[in-house]
């Protein structure tokens, strides 16, 4: 095929990819509007606009600015982070069932939080989040280190899954011990473990933001190398790829992204797992497109799930983690049933 | 390997398996004796013996009403969980499979937490019938329902071991999130009570827990041992098994049902005690050096593990008692890490 015949087709592909990107952005924008306006107190669109542009301290202004906006912003951040982290993990492990929860991140954060309560007397949400973040980072590095030791050439899906299970179980047992000894720790733990983006406040968003941004930069840097790796390690090596470096950047990105999301929101099951499967049919296997698509799909999914949680069980709310588990499980089961199952 | 033959029935016996079983039972007796002696009131061995057999002895109440039923519940529950794990791992052909994956323990946890939260703080004062019958019954029903859900979702023109494990992981994730959501609704005191239960605890277990577990084991152990032959065949791929002329799905379904019942009864008595079902069959397998987890030896290993863990749980942080499941998890996780180390070779 001559170059002149390929060029228009490539052009058409890029055109389509940009169109999809814009469509996804529009979807996220709609989800943001829904998330800001819908809730136990619904706010008309005009009032929401008023709250954003020229607040005068009305009740609606307060609801929007101090509750809904931080909640929505956190949902967007966590959704992007978990979506991108999931796509990275599935790419690196070449396992379509990989999920950041697998890495021990969730239980690492939980343990650090409750330990900080009884050992260091931590008592504010911000303090919990910092300790949770540290715990998530340490746990996932430990899991990867263990996975590296287990496999001969980097973490294989099997050793990674095993390492994640083992570290998670150990941390969960230690966490349980603490929460059974201390009522305050129990109270923090049970709400955090259910997974929520509500009542976190704007300062939490600002604390988490740098970690997510750093993780996103690393993820985008990682994309071309990951494309080469998906051809197999031998091919990637013959293409001049530094495999160890590509893997390390990937692990760092996954750790920063999922650690930040999990520390701020608790256990959000299935996001990292589902999102890449929704994004891949749109993007194909090119990670330079899959990663941004996954981020946007993740943000949209998380916000919609949160809005569903606000309206299904009035007058109370269902935590977004529970909604995600209920939405994600059928998807996961369908995934497992559809094809010849992937060997873990 | 020796073969015992009684008219039409033949039985293959591994010498290593027999040795392990006997040694394990001896160790179990030793641990039980320690369990009888150590506690808030320290007893000497003669006091333990007289307390067991002499109704008028001073230690009679402590031994017969407090320590013995608790220790027996632990040993029976450990044996039941380990046997259940051995069956499931043989069928799934996967050392990571366990009743937890089959939805039994997670299903039971959700149901019990729902019951505790729904009953609210009233449960603390209600006591009586709800306390002794309500929770075990809820656990039993929840465990069976959880297993039915997983089994139903994993079924697709037959049952694939890996599909079963993966579906189980997915369903377990949902149960876990719902469980923690239920915990956020409840009062913090109910939550603490529920946390003790979902960690797996032997605290305050009496004869009413010993009897059902013992009965279930008495019925199910012989049945599963009869199923050994088809378990051996199930190790091979589905095609081979069908070729061998075994009614594959029927015998597999019956064995899974037995495994589910064993785990459900165990969970009803002591809550979901972590890792016993996962680790015991693998430990027994390595000690006996057989091709698949040996059933009887696994059960003995499970009983020893649970009894030892409860001894630690009762005494390590005395006077505070930990749930036994926390100790088994802290002991079991390094074992999994050890498995990863070994896989390097």
Shortest CA distance from B339: residue in chain A: A162
Note the pLDDT of residue A59: 79
Phi, psi dihedral angles at B11 (to 5 degrees): -140, 125
Helices and strands: H and E segment counts in chain B: 17, 2
Task: Determine what percent of chain B falls in helix, strand and coil, rounding each to the nearest 5.
Answer: 75, 5, 20
Please report the pLDDT score of residue B122 as a whole number: 45
Helices (H), ranges, chain A = 3-37, 45-53, 59-62, 69-93, 105-120, 125-150, 157-181, 183-194, 201-229, 233-238, 243-265, 271-283, 287-312, 320-338
Asked if A270 and B340 come within 8 Å (Cβ–Cβ), the reply is no
A169–chain B Cβ distance below 8 A for any pair: yes
Q: Quick one: residue A319, left, alpha or beta (phi over 0 = left, psi -120 to 50 = alpha)? A: beta
Cα→Cα distances B280→A18, A110, B79, B283, B288, Å? 55, 28, 9, 5, 12
Cα–chain center distance at B206:
17
Rounded to an integer, what distance in angstroms lies between the CA atom of residue A73 and that of residue A209?
10
B339 part of contact set with chain A, CB < 8 Å: yes
**B96: contact with A, CB 8 A cutoff:** yes
Weakest mean pLDDT among B107-116, B164-173, B331-340 = B331-340
Residues of chain A with pLDDT under 70: 1-10, 102, 148-162, 339-344
Q: How far apart are CA B243 and CA A103, in angstroms?
A: 41
- Asked if residues A94 and A262 have their Cβ atoms less than 8 Å apart, the reply is no
Burial-class residue B131 by CB neighbours within 10 Å (0-12, 13-18, 19+): middle
Pick the more confident residue, B118 or A285: A285
Mean pLDDT value across chain B: 80
Q: Is residue A183 less than 8 Å (CB to CB) from chain B?
A: yes
Q: What is the pLDDT of residue B299?
A: 93
The beta-carbon neighbor of B343 closest among A150, A270, A342 is A150
C-alpha span between A293 and A80 (Å, rounded): 9
Does pLDDT of B229 surpass 80? no
Residues of B in contact with A191 (CB under 8 A): 184
CA distance A228 to chain B (A): 26
b/e A41-75 (16+ beta carbons within 10 angstroms → b):
eebeeebbebbeeeeeeeebbebbeebbbbbbbbb
Per-residue pLDDT, B84: 93
Better-predicted residue by pLDDT, B241 or A67? A67
* Contact residues for B64 (Cβ-Cβ < 8 A; gap 6+): B51, B52
Q: Which of A147, A172, A194 sits opposite B181 (nearest CB)?
A: A194
Domains annotated on chain B, with CATH: 2-344 (1.10.3470.10)
Q: How many CB atoms lie within 10 A of CB A137?
A: 22
Any B CB within 8 A of A329 CB: yes
Taking one residue from A and the other from B, the number of pairs with CB-CB distance under 8 angstroms is 149
Cα–Cα distance between A328 and A271 in angstroms, integer?
7
- What pLDDT does residue B310 have? 92
B188: chain A residues, CB-CB within 8 Å:
183, 186-187
CA–CA dist B123, A137 (Å, integer): 40
- pLDDT tens-digit map of B120-162: 654 444 455 555 567 788 888 999 999 899 888 888 776 676 6
Tell me the pLDDT tens digit for each residue of B305-315: 999 999 998 88
CB proximity list for A335: less than 8 A, separation 6 or greater: A96, A97, A277
Q: Which residue has the higher pLDDT, B19 or A149?
A: B19
In the prediction, which pLDDT does B317 show?
A: 77
DSSP assignment of B138-203: HHHHHHHHHHHHHHHHH-SSS--HHHHHHHHHHHHHHHHHHHHHHHHHS-HHHHHHHHHHHH---T
Q: Which fold has domain A68-337?
A: ABC transporter involved in vitamin B12 uptake, BtuC (1.10.3470)
Q: Where are the domains of chain A?
A: 68-337
Tens-digit pLDDT profile for residues B256-290: 888 989 998 898 888 888 889 888 988 888 888 87
- Residues B162, A341: C-beta atoms closer than 8 Å: yes
Q: Residue A231: CB partners within 8 Å, gap ≥ 6?
A: A239
User: CB contact, 8 Å: B163 with chain A?
Assistant: yes
pLDDT at A299: 96
Pairing state between β B2-6 and B9-13: antiparallel
Cis peptide bond prior to B289, omega within 30° of 0? no
* ipTM of predicted assembly, 2 dp: 0.74
CB < 8 Å to B160, chain A: 341
Chain A partners within 8 Å of B320 (Cβ): 181
Which member of A146, A173, A333 has the closest CB to residue B330? A173
Bridge partners, residue B2, by sequence = B13
Candidates A170, A173, A322; nearest CB to B178: A322
Best mutation target among A177, A181, A318, A324 (most B Cβ atoms within 10 Å) is A177
Contact B278, B269 (CB under 8 A): no
Residue A29 has a CB neighbour count (10 Å cut-off) of 11
Min CA distance, B329 vs chain A (Å)? 6
- Tell me if chain B has a CB within 8 Å of the CB of A191: yes
pLDDT, position B125: 46
Supply the pLDDT for residue A1: 45
ω into residue B153 within 30 of 0, thus cis? no
State whether A194 and B183 contact (CB < 8 Å): yes
Residues of A in contact with B322 (CB under 8 A): 177, 180
- Whether A181 sits inside 8 A of B330 (CB atoms) is no
Tell me what pLDDT residue B59 has. 78
């Amino acid at each position: 095929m001559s170059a002149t015949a390929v060029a228009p087709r490539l052009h058409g592909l890029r055109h389509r990819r940009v169109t999809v990107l814009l469509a996804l952005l529009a979807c996220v924008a709609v989800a943001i509007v829904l998330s800001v306006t819908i809730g136990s107190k619904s706010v008309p669109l005009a009032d929401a606009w008023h709250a954003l542009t020229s607040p005068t301290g009305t009740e609606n202004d307060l609801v929007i600015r101090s509750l809904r906006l931080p909640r929505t912003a956190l949902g967007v951040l966590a959704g992007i982070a978990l979506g991108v982290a999931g796509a990275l993990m599935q790419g690196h492990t070449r396992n379509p069932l990989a999920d950041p929860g697998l890495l021990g991140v969730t239980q690492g954060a939980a343990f650090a939080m409750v330990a900080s309560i009884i050992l260091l007397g931590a008592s504010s949400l911000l303090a919990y989040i910092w300790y949770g973040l540290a715990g998530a980072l340490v746990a996932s590095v430990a899991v990867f280190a263990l996975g590296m030791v287990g496999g001969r050439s980097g973490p294989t899906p099997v050793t990674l899954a095993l390492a994640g299970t083992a570290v998670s179980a150990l941390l969960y047992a230690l966490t349980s011990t603490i929460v059974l000894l201390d009522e305050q720790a129990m109270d923090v733990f049970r709400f955090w473990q259910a997974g929520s983006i509500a009542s976190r406040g704007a300062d939490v968003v600002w604390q988490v933001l740098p970690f997510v941004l750093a993780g996103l930069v690393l993820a985008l840097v990682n994309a071309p190398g990951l494309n080469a790796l998906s051809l197999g390690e031998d091919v990637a090596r013959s293409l001049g790829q530094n495999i160890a470096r590509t893997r390390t950047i990937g692990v760092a990105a996954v750790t920063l992204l999922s650690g930040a999301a999990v520390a701020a929101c608790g256990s959000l099951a299935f996001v990292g797992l589902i999102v890449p499967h929704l994004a891949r049919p749109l993007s194909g296997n090119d990670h330079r497109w899959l990663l941004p698509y996954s981020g946007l799909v993740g943000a949209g999914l998380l916000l919609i799930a949160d809005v569903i949680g606000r309206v299904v069980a009035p007058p109370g709310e269902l935590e977004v983690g529970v909604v995600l588990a209920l939405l994600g499980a059928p998807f996961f089961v369908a995934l497992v049933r559809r094809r010849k199952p992937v060997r873990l | 390997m020796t073969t015992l033959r009684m008219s039409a029935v033949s039985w293959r016996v591994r010498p290593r398996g027999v040795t392990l079983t006997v040694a394990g039972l001896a160790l179990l007796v030793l641990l039980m004796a320690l369990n009888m002696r150590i506690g808030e009131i320290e007893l000497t061995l003669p006091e333990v013996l007289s307390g067991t057999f002499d109704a008028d002895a001073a230690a009679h109440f402590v031994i017969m009403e407090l320590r013995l039923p608790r220790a027996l519940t632990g040993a029976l529950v450990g044996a039941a969980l380990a046997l259940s794990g051995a069956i499931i791992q043989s069928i799934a052909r996967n050392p990571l499979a366990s009743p937890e994956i089959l939805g039994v323990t997670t299903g039971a946890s959700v149901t019990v937490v729902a019951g505790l939260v729904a009953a609210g703080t009233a449960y603390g004062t209600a006591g009586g019938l709800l306390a002794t019958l309500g929770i075990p019954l809820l656990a039993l029903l929840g465990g069976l329902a959880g297993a039915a859900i997983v089994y139903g979702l994993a079924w697709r023109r037959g049952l694939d071991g890996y599909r079963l494990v993966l579906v189980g992981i997915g369903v377990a994730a949902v149960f876990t999130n719902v469980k923690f959501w239920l915990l956020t609704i409840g009062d913090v005191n109910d939550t603490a009570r529920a946390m003790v239960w979902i960690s797996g605890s032997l605290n305050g277990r009496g004869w009413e827990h010993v009897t059902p577990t013992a009965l279930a084991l008495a019925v199910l152990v012989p049945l599963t041992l009869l199923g050994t032959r088809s378990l051996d065949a199930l190790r091979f791929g589905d095609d081979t098994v069908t070729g061998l002329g075994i009614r594959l799905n029927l015998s597999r379904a019956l064995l899974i049902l037995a495994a589910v019942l064993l785990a459900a009864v165990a969970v009803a008595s002591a809550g979901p005690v972590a890792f016993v079902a996962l680790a015991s069959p693998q430990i027994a397998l390595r000690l006996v050096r057989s091709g698949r987890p040996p059933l009887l030896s696994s059960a003995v290993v499970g009983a020893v593990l649970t009894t030892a863990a409860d001894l630690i749980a009762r005494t390590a942080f005395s006077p505070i008692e930990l749930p036994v499941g926390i100790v088994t998890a802290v002991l079991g996780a390094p074992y999994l890490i050890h498995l990863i180390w070994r896989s390097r070779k």
